[in-house]
């Protein structure tokens, strides 16, 4: 079960990365090109944030229930904090990824409240860009 969830979690990151790049580029094009915020923009933003939520849910299932790493970490947290590789999985990865989801959700929520296309594009570009940056800093690139 662990391997199945880990595989889904790993493959889903690529979809999220591509979606984030697409929605950021679309937002920047709308922002600097003076475009109107259309239904496709809304669908892209909602899909990106929804996929982020799904990834977070899968990650939490791995973290809380299935991962042998976190199971051992919870038994001896002080020892885990002194080992950088274990600390990465126990604290850094999950914390930064939760912040990335929060940033994406904040950008989506703020942009939904506005009627102005420029404001929608601006907040999406900023907050989705922050989200992408955070993800890129904590993706385990050695596990491609």
Within 8 A by CB and 6+ apart from 36, the residues are 30, 117
d(CA 31, CA 34): 6
Indicate the domain borders of the chain.
2-138
d(CA 56, CA 119): 27
Q: What share of the chain is helix, strand, coil (3-state, %, to 5)?
A: 85, 0, 15
pTM for the predicted model, two decimal places = 0.93
Contact 90, 80 (CB under 8 A): yes
Per-residue pLDDT averaged across 49-57, rounded? 98
Nearest to 13 by CA among 106, 139, 142, 107: 139
pLDDT in tens, 89-142: 999 999 999 999 999 999 999 999 999 999 999 999 999 999 999 999 999 988
Structure-model confidence comparison of residues 73 and 57, the more confident one? 57
pLDDT in tens, 30-49: 999 989 999 999 999 999 99
């Amino acid at each position: 079960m662990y391997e199945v969830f880990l595989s889904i979690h790993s493959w889903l990151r690529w979809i999220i990365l591509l979606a984030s790049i697409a929605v950021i580029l679309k937002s920047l094009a709308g922002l600097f090109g003076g475009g109107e915020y259309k239904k496709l923009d809304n669908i892209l933003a909602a899909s990106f944030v929804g996929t982020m939520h799904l990834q977070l849910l899968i990650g939490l299932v791995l973290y809380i229930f299935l991962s042998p790493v976190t199971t051992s970490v919870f038994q001896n947290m002080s020892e885990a904090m002194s080992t950088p590789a274990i600390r990465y999985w126990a604290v850094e990865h999950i914390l930064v990824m939760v912040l990335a989801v929060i940033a994406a959700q904040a950008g989506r929520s703020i942009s939904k409240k506005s009627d102005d296309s420029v404001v929608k594009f601006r907040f999406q570009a900023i907050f989705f860009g922050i989200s992408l940056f955070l993800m890129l800093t904590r993706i385990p690139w050695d596990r491609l």
